[in-house]
């Protein structure tokens, strides 16, 4: 049965709930990522009608976002370069999934209504090439939802945080010594330092799309102005969300 996303409100209570859920990311990933996916799809639905929309879920992995998108009437296509990640949750790739790189999306120009990506940009070696590809495959009038964890945020080093503030390689070496294995997200090989400033510059220069919104994804709406404060925004934002509309 088709469901519909709840009206989205970026309140302090929502931020607290997401933080509480994040504590279960490792112990109960289905709970956390299911919660995050429902929140994210409701947020996306506040910018565009998802009912019947063809949505590319770039780097969608095991399909948490894909499942929720489908539940609200969208037609999602999960694109990921790692077959293992796509099969990690159910032992099979999400329905309709496509194996391919975010740097060269296996989708035709202007073929989707919405191009969506959550926390993938910091994992590709050429982030702005991926961002350009997301714009390319979106039809005129369509929406691009691009969110990532910025390097200088408290969680920028992922599992090596907060030691990434002393350097990515040093943080990875410390993690390896402590746990006897390298981190999954290794600096320079699966984790790259992407900044909010660079993302805003890319969006401003983007010739084929207009920025509709730029905000700290997990913060209350009243915290949005921090995005316009160089330096501070890199530390306190945790995660940048860009919403663009294709020309």
Q: What is the 3-state secondary structure (H, E, C) of 66-134?
A: HHHHHHCCCEEEEEECCHHHHCCCCCCCCCCCEECCCCCCCCCCCCEEEEEEECCHHHCCCHHHHHHHH
pLDDT on residue 3:
41
pLDDT on residue 246:
98
Residue ranges, the chain, pLDDT below 50: 1-5
10-63 pLDDT per residue, tens: 999 999 999 888 888 777 888 889 999 999 999 999 999 999 999 999 999 889
pLDDT on residue 87:
86
Q: Provide the whole-model pTM.
A: 0.94
């Amino acid at each position: 049965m088709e469901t519909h996303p709840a009206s989205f409100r970026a309140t302090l209570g929502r931020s607290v709930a997401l933080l509480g859920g994040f504590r279960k990311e490792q112990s109960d990933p289905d709970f956390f990522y299911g919660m995050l996916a429902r929140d994210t799809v409701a947020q996306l639905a506040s910018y565009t009608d998802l009912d019947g929309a063809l949505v590319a879920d770039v780097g969608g992995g095991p399909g948490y976002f894909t499942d929720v998108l489908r539940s609200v009437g969208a037609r999602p296509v999960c694109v990921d370069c790692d077959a293992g990640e796509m099969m990690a949750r159910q032992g099979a790739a999400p329905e309709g999934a496509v194996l391919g790189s975010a740097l060269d999306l296996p989708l035709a120009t202007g073929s989707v209504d919405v191009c969506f990506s959550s926390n993938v940009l910091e994992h590709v070696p050429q982030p702005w090439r991926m961002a350009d590809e997301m714009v390319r495959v979106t039809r005129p009038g369509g929406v691009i939802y691009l969110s990532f964890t910025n390097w200088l945020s408290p969680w920028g080093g992922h599992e090596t945080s907060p030691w990434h503030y002393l350097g990515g390689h040093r943080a990875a070496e410390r993690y390896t010594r402590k746990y006897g294995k390298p981190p999954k997200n290794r600096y320079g090989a699966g984790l790259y330092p992407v900044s909010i400033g660079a993302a805003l510059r890319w969006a401003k220069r983007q010739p084929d799309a207009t920025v509709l919104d730029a905000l700290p994804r997990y913060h209350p709406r009243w915290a949005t102005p921090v995005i316009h404060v160089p330096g501070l925004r890199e530390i306190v934002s945790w995660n940048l969300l860009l919403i663009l509309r294709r020309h």
